[in-house]
Structure 1
Amino acid sequence: MSTPIFQISDLRKHYGRGQSRFDALKGVSFDIHGGESVAIVGKSGSGKSTLMHLLALLDAPDSGSIALDGVDTATLRGGTLNKTRNKTFGFVFQQFFLTGNDSVLENVILPLKIAGVGRTERKRRGMAALEQLELADKARSKALNLSGGQKQRVVIARALVNNPRILFADEPTGNLDTATGAVVEDILFTLNREHGITLVVVTHDEELAARCDRRIVIRDGLIVDETTKDAA
């Protein structure tokens, strides 16, 4: 098999000091290969969200290492770190984090503005992402006027607009009803299968986790189980 897109070795992370110290991660190691779908499963406080933030380079571990395409991410600084994060990753969160009074298109192209992409190219790529999510007709609508399912599809479009290689989804169906959540799940796994996007899902939803190629269970900051779909 090719070199893993992620190589995670002995990750440790704590918050606070003394009696208030909380060890969120206590030595976590695993690899993720390009094109995989991986579920990180655990209850609230298990360390799964901390792990995702470290993988997405939104925070740094206290010790241990994360290699991205064989490069130690601890060596990435400043503009290089921001560029890597912006071009490599897409994010889909349970909370939509949309600006309600802005149009759908304006919300989608925000990462391109941050990346310094020109106005014409921003619009072209934003509309292409909306068409992919069957939302082109909502481009001029205010985000606040959308349904929950439509908002989550806008979030996915925003995550895709920079053509990311890795998509992080943190409880992506947590705010949706069952039927709408199933539609959003189908979109995510279609992107994984048909476009080769590596999908990392953080969830406590066992049914969602079961759709992934691999399921990593984390409890009290440690991996306590790891299964593949074929072995499950």
Structure 2
Amino acid sequence: MTTPSPVTSRHARPAIISAHDVHKSYGTGQNRFDALTDVSLDIHEGQSLAIVGKSGSGKSTLMHVLALLDAPDSGSLILDGADTRDLRGKKLNRTRNKTFGFVFQQFFLTGSNTVLENVILPMKIAGIGRAERRRRGLAALAQLELDDKAKNKAVNLSGGQKQRAVIARALVNNPRIIFADEPTGNLDSNTGQTVEDILFTLNREHGITLIVVTHDEELAARCDRRIQIRDGRIVEDSDGEVAA
């Protein structure tokens, strides 16, 4: 009798992140707030996933837990087969810096620094040499058609250019996963469409797993998979892994 494969035919690739019965709360006593309750899901490598929900639903908390920016109170988070509870200090920072890229609505660029200086920051944190930082930073900017702005101060960029610089910064350490939190929230519709196209090209042509937190149903519809979170629980999953 043939033993079934642990990966179903529905998913050609294994789970890169697995959350099991994750719970996260803030505050104590009467001020206690359950941000996540019994959240379980597998995210498969190369997948694009939209996490949707109303403000306060827990979607940003879920992203922070998945991205190792916050630790769950209970439950487990498995990253590429390894239990993340074993990650501490420098090892945690190194794993996060090497594995993930981040694209946030607020940009988080240092306006007084050049575009290139902003883009190479993750590599400085990783201890990569100056020449290699410059080479990879310029290559990432060229990929985003922004290399001509490398010496410009970040404060002088348009909104769309700032978001492309943020994406370039997310790419310089060759991440396996990009987390995008409302990536088009501060952009006009045309510029937002361009940024979306860039992210989905990275996902589909380069195999980078894309996890998007968004209120935008049109953006969510472009993803392979959509999960809805309400009151800290997953109530709908287009993969059918969680019952509504």
Fold similarity call, TM over 0.5: yes
What is the aligned counterpart of 1:86 among 84, 97, 106? 97
State the Cα deviation string for residues 143-180 of structure 1 (Å, max 9, x = none).
00000000000000000000000000000000001110
Q: What residue is the counterpart of 1:52 in the other structure?
A: 63
Please list, as runs of the form range in 1=range in 2, the aligned pairs for 1:180-191 lying within 5 A after superposition.
180-191=191-202
SS in 1 for 2:92: helix
Unaligned runs of 5+ in 1: none
| Alpha-carbon distance in structure 2 between the residues aligned to 1:136 and 1:94 | 22
TM-score with structure 1 setting the length:
0.97
The aligned amino acid for 2:214 is T
Q: What residue is the counterpart of 1:153 in the other structure?
A: 164
Q: What residue is the counterpart of 1:220 in the other structure?
A: 231
TM-score with structure 2 setting the length:
0.92
Shift of 1:126: 0.1
Q: What residue is the counterpart of 2:27 in the other structure?
A: 16
Shift of 1:65: 0.6
Q: What residue is the counterpart of 2:121 in the other structure?
A: 110
| Alpha-carbon distance in structure 2 between the residues aligned to 1:93 and 1:70 | 27
What is the aligned counterpart of 2:209 among 198, 203, 212? 198
Q: Is the 8 A contact 1:86 1:115 kept in 2?
A: yes
Shift of 1:215: 0.1
Shift of 1:77: 1.2
Q: What residue is the counterpart of 1:166 in the other structure?
A: 177
Shift of 1:90: 0.1
SS in 2 for 1:141: coil
Q: What residue is the counterpart of 1:125 in the other structure?
A: 136
| Alpha-carbon distance in structure 2 between the residues aligned to 1:148 and 1:39 | 23
State the Cα deviation string for residues 60-85 of structure 1 (Å, max 9, x = none).
00001100011110111111111100
SS in 1 for 2:173: coil
| Alpha-carbon distance in structure 2 between the residues aligned to 1:17 and 1:150 | 42
Shift of 1:3: 2.9
The aligned amino acid for 1:177 is D
Q: What residue is the counterpart of 1:74 in the other structure?
A: 85
| Alpha-carbon distance in structure 1 between the residues aligned to 2:14 and 2:132 | 33
Matched, 1:179 2:179: no
Q: Is the 8 A contact 1:3 1:70 kept in 2?
A: no
| Alpha-carbon distance in structure 2 between the residues aligned to 1:106 and 1:119 | 11
Q: Is the 8 A contact 1:8 1:31 kept in 2?
A: yes
Structure 1 moving runs of 4+ over 4 Å: none
| Alpha-carbon distance in structure 2 between the residues aligned to 1:204 and 1:146 | 25
Which range is displaced more, 77-86 or 187-196?
Answer: 77-86
Provide the identity percentage.
76
| Alpha-carbon distance in structure 1 between the residues aligned to 2:80 and 2:67 | 13
SS in 2 for 1:81: helix
SS in 1 for 2:42: strand
